[in-house]
Amino acid sequence: MIGYAVLTPFVAALFAPILVRLIGHWAAYILALVPAFLCYRFFGYIEPIANGGRVLESLSWLPEMGINYSFLVDGLSLTFAFLIAGIGFFIVIYAGGYLKGHPSLGRFMAVLLAFMGSMLGLVLSDNLITLFVFWEMTSITSFLLIGFDHDRMASRRAALQALIITGLGGLVMLAGFALVGIIGGSYELSELLSKGDVIKSDALYGLAFWLVMAGAFTKSAQVPFHSWLANAMEAPTPVSAYLHSATMVKAGVFLLMRFYPILGETPLWETVLPIVGGVTLLVGTILAVRDTDMKLMLAYTTIASLGLLVMMLGVGGTGAIEAAVLYLIAHSFFKGGLFMVVGTVDHEAGTRDIRRLSGLRSAMPITALAASLGALSMCGLPPFVGFLAKESIYHSVSHGDWREWTIALVAVIGNVLMFAVAASIAIKPFLGRWVDPPKAVHEGPLMLVLGPLVLGLVGLASALFILELMQTNFFAPMIMAVAGREVEVDLHLWGGVNLALGLSAITVVCGVLVFMWIEKFRRGFNGVLTAIGWGPDKGFDQAICLLTWFGGVFTRFLQNGSMRRYMRLTFIFTAMALLIPIYQQNLLPGKLRFPELELWEMGVLLILTIGIIQVVLARTRLTAIVSLGIQGTAVALVFMMFGAPDLSFTQFMVETLSVVILALVLTRFKLMRQDRRSPFSIIVDSSIALSVGVGMSVFLIHITQPFLDLRLSEFFANYSASVAHGRNIVNVILVDFRALDTLGEITVVLIAGLSVLALIRLKAPASTEMSVSAAEALKTKTLKGAK
Amino acid sequence: MSTLILRTIAPTLTSLMVIYSIVVLLSGHNEPGGGFIGGLIAASAFALYGIACGVGPVRRAIYFHPISIAGFGMLLAALSGLPSLMEGVPYLTGVWWFPKLSKTVELALSTPLFFDIGVWLVVVGSLVSIALALEEKD
């Protein structure tokens, strides 16, 4: 059951802190067994998937609402699952070396594994709601990982920014999922995949498209939402290598691939995606060339690569899908590896500023080898898988109209700049003459060099030695799953002399030229960007400032601390809610029928009235509170006379307790003995009180006067003894028939108790009036609960 | 407020009220009563004891912090809904079992009973913590 396999990283996350405490960073080797086990589990699916099948598994969750814990394994999700678990294996080991001796390594491992589980759940989900839940879980775990060094302001800001941008995008996407689910009549992707035509022809297609895109574009850091990804580099390098290159940021691209048969290949899709992706590609590469921090350079090229992927998916057609799939896989290998290389250099040499590093090849030969393997693939040079991907990109856009040529031009510019960045990262720190780095440098330990080396070799081998194997098991099934139809896939390293090869040659030549003059380009881009002086990152801060300012103004307007004002507002709205329907629908009772009253009944009513009058006329607050108690007791008597002993019982107790508590409040807080009000506020308050009273009375009379619907009462009377073994209907309703309501009520009681306790402990003078109101609120809740 | 008469009678009165509140709690399924009402009675009892003899003795007598008692009650009420899930019926459905103590005596145990005890604890805990906090003269 794949649903359980997805949960294993979460279980491992629970034990990670203990394990790290016991055996230190060696725990990484044990924890890496989890992704290894997952890879082993996934191996069983390769063959059926390669033969064109797909596997569906489902557990009911809320079947009435179409929400299930269901999973779909096909070419797309299986390849992603392998990438997540496979790269995750090396990342876990790498993290053990990178954060060796860090006091919070246990917490780090736990969150990293939880992220792995969320990501696997995301790609394997069949149900859209399940997918959404895992999607948001990746946002939350990513937040925790970016903010790992939570005592640094920059980390906290980056974490919050990532959470806000991806979280908001996810919420908008949820609306899109709901819309797609409603149009398509199911939340299961396996069913929706065949209903693309229905959804695309629906009038609401456009809205659904934009809502889903909001999720994909924010998660995959498309312009103008890209700034969170660059800032996320505040995280420790294993996080950047895993989340922000190989896996999480690809979730948006994954979503686009998943939804390709559902929403794709429409004019809207083929307009929006190439524009957004193309702009992101150009912006990303320009920012990458400008930077000198190697980690940030890689982060910006990641943004650019994501843009390239979105652009290719927007081009549409099987050729473009093939290109996107190849590039996605190639990118996961080389970018994950290069990030780890930069982390190792940073770890061992003490800086990742590319201007301060040179000649490290003799000190770190293995790292240098891994760097060149990754960079060669990133440059798109043969015989690496990156070359296959780039050829495929050029091939798919080089035989069409002006639109395809524009896209080809953008792709070439982007690839040229990425070539230059990759070349500088592989060459500048390692070749050239020796410069003393800030730390005494030596080769990284096995834990740090294993991951980048293996990923670099895989990037080489999958194109050179095992291309056939990769093609039948991963590339072809994934391409078919994205396209949603049968596709002929035939990949070769040498495709003959064609236009794509020519474009590749241009790319390489221009790339070398840019690399040689990269300082000039850097200064040029820097000048332009400084001249603009504003970016989405600044815009984010401004938006947050605006939001907090607005929140402050709004809160000060609504919650100015005056209890009297709160009560007035509350009761004005109550009165309106009661009186407006009465006026509009003319609910005034025509003729009132006064029941014959016995003498003692009149007596109780008299006590009740006197109590109320006394509350209004009372000179001191204490008298008013006690008089309110008299009135309440009279109400309890009324309940008693009309056969509601439970209610009456509760009312007695509540009255007693509230008089005690209110009197205690009065003695504890130095309130004025008397409640002085200006004549104006007496008029206002009394008219509000009268309107609420009249409204409530008319409303109750209207409900009870013509006839009272007793079906519920009869149901409870008939079934309470036979079904719930109780003769006290009120109690049976409370603890059995409507127990969930009661659970809610006691939660409110508990929270009210906690808040009153907090208010009393505050001891600020301003809290006096609030305690009175909290006690009142508690009284109302308790009474309501017992009803 | 703490006169000699009140101080003398308060412990007895409090014990009686607490016992009565438990009676009300347990008999509530068939007679008027239940966790809410019982909890209110017990809360008044502790509030009275606090007024008469001071907050310290009450806190010592109930040993736990009242808000922890309320929290435990909440947990108990929430957990009492779980056995029904094992039976395959919705959360919080009443599950009953009647163990025979002897040939004639049969005990009626049920999840609603534990739910009601949870309600009782929440009401007692919340109200007592408010009352005691207010009574404290620090």
- Per residue in A99-129, pLDDT (tens digit) is 988 999 999 999 999 999 999 999 999 999 9
8 Å CB contact between A318 and A334: no
Contact B37 A757 (CB under 8 A): no
Contact B29 A726 (CB under 8 A): yes
Residue A745 C-alpha, separation from nearest chain B C-alpha, in angstroms: 9
Chain segment B67-118, per-residue pLDDT in tens:
999 999 999 999 998 888 888 788 888 888 888 888 888 888 889 999 999 9
Q: Which domain holds residue B109?
A: 4-135
Residue A590 C-alpha, separation from nearest chain B C-alpha, in angstroms: 38
Structure confidence at residue A278 (pLDDT): 95
pLDDT band of residue A535 (cuts 50, 70, 90) is: confident
**Given the structure tokens 């990178």, which residue do they identify?**
A98
Token pair recorded at residue A676: 């002085």
Compute φ and ψ for A628, nearest 5 degrees: -60, -35
Residue A737 C-alpha, separation from nearest chain B C-alpha, in angstroms: 8
Bigger pLDDT: A773 or A373? A373
8 Å CB contact between A145 and A112: yes
Is pLDDT above 70 for A768?
Answer: no
8 Å CB contact between A507 and A415: yes
| Start-to-end CA span in chain A (Å) | 47
Closest CA to A653 of B52, B131, B43: B43
Compute φ and ψ for B107, nearest 5 degrees: -100, 140
Round to whole Å and give the CA distance between A475 and A458. 15
What percent of chain A shows pLDDT beyond 90? 51
Chain segment A690-724, per-residue pLDDT in tens:
999 999 998 888 887 767 778 888 888 888 888 88
Compute φ and ψ for A57, nearest 5 degrees: -135, 145
Tell me the β-bridge partners of B96: B110
Structure confidence at residue A779 (pLDDT): 55
Please give the DSSP secondary-structure letter assigned to residue A735: I
Interface test with B, best of A64, A653, A669 (most B CBs within 10 A): A653
How large is the average pLDDT for residues A477-505?
85
Token pair recorded at residue B39: 């909890």
Closest CA to A128 of A259, A266, A250: A259
Chain segment A387-414, per-residue pLDDT in tens:
999 989 998 887 778 888 899 999 999 9
Chain segment A416-463, per-residue pLDDT in tens:
999 999 999 998 888 888 888 888 888 888 888 899 999 999 988 888
Of the partner residues B32, B74, B134, the one whose CB lies closest to the CB of residue A760: B134
8 Å CB contact between A618 and A739: no
Closest CA to A390 of A479, A324, A333, A316: A324
Round to whole Å and give the CA distance between A240 and A299. 8
Of the partner residues B70, B92, B127, the one whose CB lies closest to the CB of residue A740: B92
Chain segment B1-32, per-residue pLDDT in tens:
568 899 999 999 999 999 999 999 998 888 88
Q: SS3 for A16?
A: helix
8 Å CB contact between A648 and A783: no
8 Å CB contact between A348 and A424: no
Structure confidence at residue A787 (pLDDT): 45
Round to whole Å and give the CA distance between A212 and A205. 11
Contact B130 A753 (CB under 8 A): yes
Of the partner residues B30, B32, B126, the one whose CB lies closest to the CB of residue A749: B126
pLDDT band of residue A31 (cuts 50, 70, 90) is: very high
The amino acid that residue A238 corresponds to is P
Strands A67-73 and B96-97, by their bridges, are: unpaired
Structure confidence at residue B93 (pLDDT): 85
Using a CB-CB cut-off of 8 Å, the residues of chain A touching B43 are: 657
| Start-to-end CA span in chain B (Å) | 17
pLDDT band of residue A784 (cuts 50, 70, 90) is: low
Structure confidence at residue A781 (pLDDT): 54
Round to whole Å and give the CA distance between A773 and A769. 7
Please give the DSSP secondary-structure letter assigned to residue B96: E
Structure confidence at residue A83 (pLDDT): 93
Contact A731 B34 (CB under 8 A): yes
Token pair recorded at residue A313: 């998916």
Round to whole Å and give the CA distance between A705 and A589. 8
Token pair recorded at residue A109: 């491992």
Please give the DSSP secondary-structure letter assigned to residue A70: E
Contact A736 B94 (CB under 8 A): yes
Round to whole Å and give the CA distance between A425 and A743. 60
Which residues of A fall below an 8 Å CB-CB distance to B?
A: 645-646, 649-650, 653-654, 656-657, 660-661, 664-665, 668, 724-728, 730-732, 734-736, 739-740, 742-743, 746-747, 749-750, 752-754, 756-757, 760-761, 771, 775, 778, 782, 785-786
Token pair recorded at residue B92: 């919080």
Strands A55-62 and A67-73, by their bridges, are: antiparallel
Using a CB-CB cut-off of 8 Å, the residues of chain A touching B125 are: 750, 753
Using a CB-CB cut-off of 8 Å, the residues of chain B touching A779 are: none
Round to whole Å and give the CA distance between A456 and A467. 15
What percent of chain A shows pLDDT beyond 70? 97
pLDDT band of residue A776 (cuts 50, 70, 90) is: low
Contact B36 A734 (CB under 8 A): yes
Chain segment A36-75, per-residue pLDDT in tens:
999 999 998 998 888 888 889 888 888 888 888 899 999 9
Size of interface A-B (CB pairs under 8 A): 150
Tell me the β-bridge partners of A125: A71
Round to whole Å and give the CA distance between A540 and A463. 42
Residue A384 has, within 13 A of its CA and on its CB side, a CA count of 24
Using a CB-CB cut-off of 8 Å, the residues of chain A touching B92 are: 739-740, 743
Of the partner residues B44, B47, B96, the one whose CB lies closest to the CB of residue A725: B96
Of the partner residues B29, B43, B47, the one whose CB lies closest to the CB of residue A732: B29
Q: Kindly provide the ipTM of the predicted complex, given to two decimals.
A: 0.94
Compute φ and ψ for A226, nearest 5 degrees: -80, -15
Of the partner residues B28, B91, B130, the one whose CB lies closest to the CB of residue A661: B130
Chain segment A555-613, per-residue pLDDT in tens:
888 888 888 888 899 999 999 999 998 888 887 777 777 778 888 889 999 999 999 99
Bigger pLDDT: A776 or A649? A649
Smallest CA–CA distance from B77 into chain A, residue: A743
Count of beta carbons in the 10 Å neighbourhood of residue A275: 16
Tell me the β-bridge partners of A70: A58
Is pLDDT above 70 for A778?
Answer: no
Distances from the Cα of A153 to the Cα of A147, A158, A160, A234, A555, angstroms: 9, 9, 11, 10, 26
Structure confidence at residue A767 (pLDDT): 45
Interface test with B, best of A746, A760, A761 (most B CBs within 10 A): A746
Residue A381 C-alpha, separation from nearest chain B C-alpha, in angstroms: 60
Contact A653 B41 (CB under 8 A): yes
Residues 6+ apart with CB under 8 A from A601: A641
Closest CA to A232 of A337, A335, A131, A302: A302
Bigger pLDDT: A672 or A271? A271
Of the partner residues B33, B40, B133, the one whose CB lies closest to the CB of residue A757: B133
Contact A786 B71 (CB under 8 A): no
Contact A749 B122 (CB under 8 A): yes
8 Å CB contact between A162 and A142: yes
Contact B36 A786 (CB under 8 A): yes
Contact A746 B74 (CB under 8 A): yes
Round to whole Å and give the CA distance between A39 and A82. 6
Residues 6+ apart with CB under 8 A from A103: none
Q: SS3 for A62?
A: strand
Return the domain boundaries, chain A: 290-516, 713-787
Token pair recorded at residue A610: 């006197």
Token pair recorded at residue A626: 């006690």
pLDDT band of residue A766 (cuts 50, 70, 90) is: very low
Token pair recorded at residue A735: 């603890």
Separation of CA A712 from chain center: 42
Contact B130 A757 (CB under 8 A): yes
Token pair recorded at residue A663: 């009197």
Smallest CA–CA distance from B72 into chain A, residue: A750
How large is the average pLDDT for residues A291-306?
93
The amino acid that residue A113 corresponds to is L
Closest CA to A423 of A378, A360, A358, A357: A378
Q: What is the mean pLDDT of chain A?
A: 88
Token pair recorded at residue A652: 């007695």
Is pLDDT above 60 for A769?
Answer: no
Please give the DSSP secondary-structure letter assigned to residue B85: H
Using a CB-CB cut-off of 8 Å, the residues of chain A touching B41 are: 653
Separation of CA A720 from chain center: 45
Compute φ and ψ for A72, nearest 5 degrees: -130, 120
- Our count of domains for chain B comes to 1
Q: What is the DSSP string of A489-511?
A: ----S---S-HHHHHHHHHHHHH
